[in-house]
Copies of this chain bind each other. A is one copy, B any other.
Amino acid sequence: MSEVSISDYLQTHLKRGDGQPMNRQIYQLLRDGILGGAIGAGLRVPPSRALAADLAVSRNTVTYAYEQLGAEGYLEARTGDGTYVANTEPDMARLPAEREAAGTDGQAVLSGRGSRLLSGIGASAMQWGAFMPGIPDLTRFPHEAWSKLQQRHWRRADPRLLTYGDGAGYRPLREAIANHLRTARSVNCSPDQVIITTGTHQSIQLVSTLLGERGDAAWIEDPCYWGTRNVIRSSGLEPQAIPVDGEGMRLEEEAMRTPPRFIFVTPSHQYPLGPVMSLARRRLLLEYAARHQVWIIEDDYDSEFRYTGPPLASLQGLDQADRVIYLGTFSKTLFPGLRIGFMVVPAGLAPSFVRANSEMYRDGQGFLHAVLADFIQEGHFSSHVRRMRQLYAQRLRCLQGAIRHHLGGDAVTSGGDAGLHLVLGLDDGADDVRISEAAAAEQILTRPLSAYYADPGTARKGLMLGYAAVPEEQIDTLFKALARVIRRGGGLATA
């Protein structure tokens, strides 16, 4: 192509009146011509005045395109000698021989650890509806009060709340959380030990990275929350599934002979089965951790909701040896989309955790922290939790009634004295995954218990049913429909 033919080329390809500005069109055509090789390196482009006249556009239009192409390296001006197409063609000789081809579609290009991450059970595609476990009643969240506090903070718009965080979180929120934990959860802590995160996944990642080496063993409960297993594994630790019984994680001599680096437990309300870890088990666990420098990670995800008495004291509050790291969240007490969790670490570790949180995640959301701090300090948090505890207790009774009514008094349930869900036992021969899918086809959300075990083949079968977000008047009808699906799908476990 010559200088003249650039002008011809543009005249042929420009589309007048198609809405795209002429300067962008000229830019785009020249760019594509150069990249595609139609306009060769070293070619001189017409002077802007001449090209503008040829195309019957203003000179500014051409200048804009030339300047942008110049800034992006397509054209180069040679002083006193016009403007040329730059030589930007890659020098193939410099490139080593090709690697064997691989597609970019689907899971084919994922790393091994990436594929493993996506291979097990994970988050449900649906996060709102009966009987989705683990979701509080979001329609009851006091959004007027929240919105008012938000407005108050945004009127001030303090720049320090809008910039990056300091790794620890907004100080008054740390104080509010420490106060709450001391009184409501018997946690031993000062605000300095509280670190705000975006949730339990981030807390687990921090602990795993800061205190564990790649390949270190981490005991997890079997069954357990899928997120704990996924995050531990993607952090390079080796999860070891330890069976759970009616007193929580079973601590047997065989396993105890080789102390792991971490033990992840849900002592207040084992997830997903529900038992409380017995005091004897707690004391044994703490003694073991102290002797062998094991870190105990206490995930206290929903213990504010206990229906048979006041909440039970935390494991952390019993620890004399600084071996427990306590994890909490506002996902169940307020709403999951808030994405605010927290951890309580031994005082000596707090500065390292604060810094690592900032290095790994660059924290922020000072404005959200500030709103939440006021929400707690002005009493909205505890009154909301109190109201929800009563409401969820009613709904739990209602669901238990529906289960008896539609499945008979022999139906086995567990975990129903605390939290937001219960487990309905199914017969060992039942396929809880299929039953759960069949229910989902009728818009009834459940999760299959077996999928939470390390080995679903030998796992107990059941359905996890969330009741907190289901209005009482709908529970019976919805459960009746679910009962039909269960009966069609196979045997029901009986006592």
Hey, which bits of chain A sit against chain B, CB under 8 A?
Answer: 35, 67-68, 71-74, 86-92, 94-96, 98-99, 101-107, 109-114, 117-118, 122-123, 125, 127-128, 135, 138-139, 141, 143-144, 146-147, 150-151, 154-155, 157, 159-167, 198-202, 205, 209-214, 216, 226-227, 230-231, 234, 236, 251, 253, 256-257, 259, 276, 278-280, 282-284, 286-288, 291-293, 308-310, 312-313, 318, 322-323, 331, 335-339, 346, 348-349, 351-352, 355-356, 358-367
Contact = CB atoms under 8 A, between A and B. Distances in A.
Contacts of A165: 127, 337
Contact of A360 (B234, B256, B276): B234
Nearest first, the 10 A-B pairs at minimum CB distance are A73-B279, A105-B348, A337-B364, A138-B159, A114-B210, A147-B154, A88-B280, A162-B335, A143-B157, A90-B287
B280 A73 contact: yes
Given A147-B151, A166-B127, A292-B96, A213 B359 contact: no
Given A162-B141, A364-B339, A109 B280 contact: no
> Within the oligomer, what is the number of copies of this chain?
2
Contacts of A276: 71, 73
Contacts of A101: 293
A352 B89 contact: no
Given A163-B127, A163-B128, A234-B360, A337 B366 contact: yes
11 contacts: A68-B310, A94-B256, A98-B292, A99-B293, A104-B346, A122-B358, A138-B159, A138-B162, A143-B154, A199-B362, A338-B364
B109 A349 contact: yes
A312 to B, nearest CB: 5
Given A95-B287, A284-B91, A365-B337, A164 B127 contact: yes
A247 to B, nearest CB: 9
A408 B295 CA distance: 58
Contacts of A106: 348, 351-352
A276 B74 CA distance: 13
A283 B213 contact: no
Contacts of A349: 104, 109
Contacts of A161: 337
Which of A147, A199, A212, A346 has the most chain B CB atoms inside 10 A of its CB?
A: A147
A359 B228 CA distance: 10
A367 B164 contact: no
